[in-house]
Structure formats: structure tokens, C-alpha cells
Structure 1
Amino acid sequence: MASTSGTGFPMTVTDFTGHSETFEEAPQRIAVVSGTPLNIFYDAGGTAIAASDLTENIRLVEDRATEMQQLPQLGLPRGIDSEALIGLNPDLVITQARAQTELTAQLQKMGIPTFTTEVKNLDDLAAAYQIFGAISGTSDRASERITEITSGTQAVVDKWPADDDTSAVILFASSQALSVKLDNSIAGQMLTQLGIENIAEGSVPDNPGSETTTLDVEAIVAAQPDYVLVTSMFDSNDEAKTNMDEQFASNAAWQAVDAVREGRIIYLPQQYFLYNPGPYYADATQYLAASLRPDIYGTPQEFA
């Protein structure tokens, strides 16, 4: 589990991969080269010197969005301009697991301290806030925010009826492939919190640590989930819906899934479900719950 040795310096910080760095004093020049940890870092009270390119699939925390947008942007997370990054002389670079493994290794080889994030569930999110608050000297702010997020999420969970037996399958659609999300995905974690059955529970992941498994339409037909949830990685939510609507209509196999044939398909916005929604975790849980039970939670609320 990611952690710090305390809230004062010298401080040893252990990241989500188990890598540790010791800081004699608080780092001052911090680059955060992935949008999800950047959003959490700023909400926890931090300030960075550079970021990755910020795209519309991240809902930036409102009171600091302008600050983040004005940072030097060094490319998309998988294509960070490492020369430009190193030229900024950072004393800490916060990276993303898996997508930035090579970049992280390069920085460590050069002696540049790194902290790798892999925030999937609410416990991970709490750890990230605690660590970012400690690093930035804003522990009170970070604790306040994770308390708000946790209590907001629990309020949503508490309203879900204990006798509800809803089931769902979570599809992940991109321009390259279509797969099914497991319980360790963002949407999968939230289904588990609500007590909703994910029909892919227990399936073999595509590779060790993966949150997806190979699509098997026949298995979905056999399980007949109450809902089909669609998460996506396209240029926009609208493009994802158009693409999947075409697939559902053109592939006869999908018409054997009652939820597809009867229109019980829910498109989950990338801003909440592509990556961890961070500051908006409670809002994302509310969105999912309202999508499934508007009779209890009301209409799912879109965002600006």
C-alpha cells in the first residue's frame, strides 16, 4: 500500500508499485504527467510545474481548473516529451502505472525521484490524498477532501436497497477492441460497493493485473444481465455511443441479449469511468446508481 513515513521531513514516500524515495525536505518542483493524479494532487492542495496534455475526458476540479490548464503541457501521458520534462529540473515526477512504466524507469535511472500512482478504488484514492497532502504540506486540506468524498460515496451506497438483485455487464469500447470490465475496474468497484452483481466476476483477466477480460457474447447471452453498461475510450462520449449503437444493431448475436434488445443500455461518461474520477468519486457513484435506479436517486446529473 502506498504510504509516507509521516507528515514531516525528512520523509520516506512509498508509491503504488512499492518504490520508495526519501526526501530531506519538501520537493518544490513537482511535475505531474498524467491528468488523473494531477487532478487529485491539486484538489489535495498541491501545485505543479508541468502536466501532461489535459483532455476532455477528465473533469478538472472546478476551483483549480484554470491553474492546471495554464501549466506547461508536455504531451499525452503515453507520449510525454521526456527531454522537455527533464529540462524543467523537477525534484519529483508523479507518473501513472502501466502507461508510463518506461518513462518512470528512465527518470529513476537519471536519479530523478518518482512517485507512481495506480488509483483504482476508494482506498487507493484515500492513500493518494494522504500522500499528496503530506508532500505538499496541505494534509489538513487533503484529509478534509477525502472525508467529504468518502462520506458522499457512503451516502449513495446507503440508499441502495439491500434486497435489490440487479446484475450488469460492463463493456469497454475503444477504436481497437471491445472487452468486458472486471471487478477491479472503476465501474466494477462501484458495482461491488452497491452490491450489484457483475456477471464477469471471477473471469480470467486478459493479463496479470488487467481489469478487462476477452469479450464473450455467448456468456453474456447465457447470463442475461439486467443492464449493459458501456465505458469507453473514444474522442468523445457521443462518438462512443454512436459506435456501440452501430455494433449492437449490426451484430445479430447482441440481439439475443435481452437488455440490448429492450434498450437497457447505459453509457457511462468517460469523465467519471475511464479513469478514477478522483475529486468526483462520489458524483460518479451517484451517476451510476441513478442510471440503474432513478426511482430512488433521480435522473443522472450531467456535468459541464
Structure 2
Amino acid sequence: MKKNRILSMILILVMAVSFVGCSTTDQEVKGENNPGVGQETKQDPNKQGNENNPYPEYVLEVTDETVTFMSSEGEITVTKKPKKVAILMNSYLDLWYMAGGEAIARIDGTSNIPDAAMDIVQLGKMNAISVEQLVALEPDLVIMSTSISSQMDMIPILKDNGIEYMPMSGNIAPYQAFQKNLYLFTQILDRQDIFYNEVAKITAEVDQIRNKVKDADKPTAVILFASTSKVQAELANSLTGEMADLLGVVNIVPEVPIDGTNKIDFSMEKLVEADPDYVLITTMGDVDKCKERIEQDVISNDAWASLTAVQEGRVYYLPKELFMYRPNADYPKAFTELGKIVYPEVFAGE
């Protein structure tokens, strides 16, 4: 690839500090323990309660009737086996169904929607929920996202109407969060068997993919996040950043000392200094308009053409369904697709 790898790595270490300017912060669970990725889960799936709990600092207590977990709002207790559930983030909707649950309402959209949930009530966009419609449904439980302030603003209304709610976090280290949240959901639904069976299969497949590249030369990459309004650089704890990190890819902005941050402002100067092997681009919103933003903010800069990744054709737009929306059960597919891009010699012929 590039011969001067040592100089490149020195530049990356310098950039870990100098890249930091303004940042994008998502609310996350405070003080919770993040067990290692692919943590051993070979406990007895028929047991319940804390003695068999792989995430004791997240799922705090399980009784015959309730489950208590630690959220960004503090300890939350919900009743097991709710009958009427509204879910205000489709990645959690997908995970809830994966855990054996069903829902009566969701937000608009077609991604991360299980077939069985296609025709349930739609409550509007994720940041513009019809609160009146939601309350009128008289749900037993509302599952919401801590990263969307308008959803968090509903909490007093839900409390006033005696509706249980779950503020969920998953934007930081999403692969780990996927495992923890699936465990939480299966505890609420009394389907521990699903957790131990499904997580074991998914993590085993991911580990096989990771093992394929463990002896390969580790490439460097920048992961650009493009919306219709801005371009940022993703960190190693974002959705794509975490998967790249687990595959051994060296992110040119691996971490910053700001809790809850998974993106920082983009700098062409620092990008040119590091000259990564790959440029990976994720998009949120209309893809064509996101590409226009990339063209305007990035490609139009004369320095763009000097990048090795550009000159050697290693710039990739990543598919939303795997790298913007949480892939959940499709994590092995996402890891494979990323592996094919950054380790083409390892995955040749697949």
C-alpha cells in the first residue's frame, strides 16, 4: 500500500488531538459497564434473575414481574410482558421483534421494519411524533431514543398518563449496545432463550470474520458522515467506526476525550496530512443530496485529488441499511461487506 507507514501512524496520533473541534454528542447511559465485544454468553438460558446476568451494571434487577435497568434518566423499572407497545425508533423496533415481541405502533419509514410490523399504526417522523395519537392508543410501554430530544420531552406526558417508558441508548459502541439491549428486551419478554441462541450465533459469525483478517496488514481509513447540511468525521465508537476498529482498521481520528461523542468536525488539512488508505462515506438523508454536500464541502477542495485513496480508487459510499441503520441480526453481513472493501486480498473470490 504505502511504504511510509511509520510516518503515517505518527501523524494519526497527532491528529487524534488536533482533529478535535466542535463535536456531535449523543446522550448515552451514564456509568454503565460495556463488557467486551463477543462476551461469553454460555449461561443457562432457563435461569432468570441477576445470578445469570452478563450485564449487571445495565440490567440491575429482574423479578417475576418487573425488570429494572440503568438509563440516562437513572433507574427505570418496567413491567414484564407488556401487551401494547409503541416503539419510536425503528432499529429498536427491529430488535424488539428479534427478542420475540410485537408492537402496536411505530414511526414512519421502511428501513429496519420487520414484515410483521409493516402495517401497524405509524405515529409520524422520529423527531415529530404525534403525542396525542400516541397517548390515545393507551400503550403499556413506550420505547424511545435518548438521542432525540423531542422524544425525551414526552416523558412528563407519559408519566401523567400512567404509561411506562424506556429511554434507550445505542449510538456509542453500537455492536456492544446491540448485545446489551437484546438481553434487556428478552428479559422483559421472558425469552432468554432467544438472547443466548441468537447472540451466540451472531457473535460467532462476527468473530470468524475478524479472525480472517487478524494477520493482514492493517489499513488506515477516514470515515466521513455526510448529511444534507454538513460533513463530519466518525470516530472509532460510531456504528461504522466500531466495526472498522474491530476489523483492525486504523481510524485516523480514533478517539477524543469527550463522553458521548461519535463524530467531530471534518478537516481537509488533517485528512491530507494523514493520507489514509481508504475513504469510507456514510450518508443520512437523501443520498443524492448527501453526495452534493460531499462534492461541495470535500471534493471541490483542490487537495482532495492529492489523496492516495482518491488516486487509487479507494473511496466508497457505504449502504445505509448496514452502516447508517443498526444492522442487528445482519451484523455478520455488515462486517463481511466492510471486510471486502478494506481487505480485498483476504476476501478475494467471496
Please state if 1:213 is matched with 2:296: no
Deviations 1:76-123 (A, max 9, x none): 111111111111111111111211322345424544211122224322
**Structure 1 residues 151 and 16: CA distance shift in structure 2, 3 A:** farther
**Between Structure 1 and Structure 2, how many residues are aligned?**
290
Quote the residue 2:326 is aligned against: 276
- Tell me what 2:43 maps to: none
* Per-residue deviation, residues 247-280 of structure 1 (Å, max 9, x unmatched): 5543212123221233210111111111321121
Q: 2:233 aligns with which of 148, 158, 180?
A: 180
Shift of residue 243 of structure 1?
5.2
Matches for 1:122-271 after TM superposition, within 5 Å = 122-203=175-256, 208-236=259-287, 240-241=290-291, 244=294, 249-271=299-321
Provide closer, same or farther for how the CA distance between residues 203 and 130 of structure 1 changes in structure 2, counting only shifts above 3 A. Answer: closer
1:292 to 1:25, Cα distance in 2 relative to 1, 3 A:
closer
Identity %: 29
Q: 1:21 to 1:34 in 2, by over 3 A?
A: same
SS state of the match for residue 31, structure 1? strand
Q: Residue 79 of structure 1: SS of its match in structure 2?
A: coil
1:297 has 2:350 as partner: no
**1:159-193 superposed Cα distances (whole Å, 9 cap, x missing partner):** 01324120000000010100100111011111111
One-letter identity of the residue aligned with 1:177: K
Deviation at 1:244, TM superposition (A): 3.3
Aligned Cα RMSD in Å? 2.3
User: Following the alignment from structure 1 to structure 2, what is the Cα–Cα distance between the partners of residues 274 and 105?
Assistant: 30
In 1, Cα distance between equivalents of 2:127 and 2:321: 18
CA contact (8 A) 1:172 1:181 kept: yes
- Residue aligning to 1:5: 61
Instruction: State whether residues 185 and 211 of structure 1, in contact with CA within 8 Å, keep that contact through their aligned partners in structure 2.
Output: yes
CA distance in 1, matches of 2:334, 2:133: 35
Among candidates 78, 82, 85, match of residue 134 of structure 2: 85
Letter in 2 for 1:116: P
Alignment partners' CA distance in 1, 2:155 and 2:206:
32
Q: Which has the higher contact order (CA 8 A, sep 6+)?
A: 2
Tell me if structure 2 keeps the 8 A contact 1:46–1:138. no
TM-score norm. by structure 2 comes to 0.76
Q: Could you list the runs of 5+ residues in structure 2 that have no partner in the other structure?
A: 1-31, 33-57
Distance 1:13 1:214, change over 3 A: same
Question: 1:121 is matched with which residue?
Answer: 174
- The yes-or-no answer on 1:70 pairing with 2:119 is yes
Specify the code of the residue in structure 2 equivalent to 1:53.
D
Q: How does 1:102-117 map to 2 (within 5 A)?
A: 102-108=153-159, 110-117=161-168
> Which structure has the bigger radius of gyration?
2
Are the equivalent residues in 2 in contact too, given 1:241–1:267 (CA < 8 A)? no
Query: 1:296 aligns to what SS in structure 2?
Result: coil
In 2, Cα distance between the equivalents of 1:192 and 1:285?
A: 11
TM-score normalised by L of structure 1: 0.87
What is the identity, as a one-letter code, of the residue corresponding to 2:119?
Q
Name which of 63, 82, 85 aligns with 1:27. Answer: 82
Alignment-mate amino acid for residue 147 of structure 1: A
1 or 2, which has the higher helix percentage?
Answer: 1
Which of residues 105, 127, 134 in structure 2 aligns to 1:50?
105
Provide the residue aligned with 1:40 in structure 2.
95
| Equivalent residue number for residue 72 of structure 2 | 17
Aligned to 2:335: 285
After superposition, the Cα gap between the structure-2 partners of 1:154 and 1:184, relative to the gap in structure 1 and judged at 3 Å, is same
Structure 1: unaligned runs, 5 residues or longer: none
Shift of 1:239: 5.3
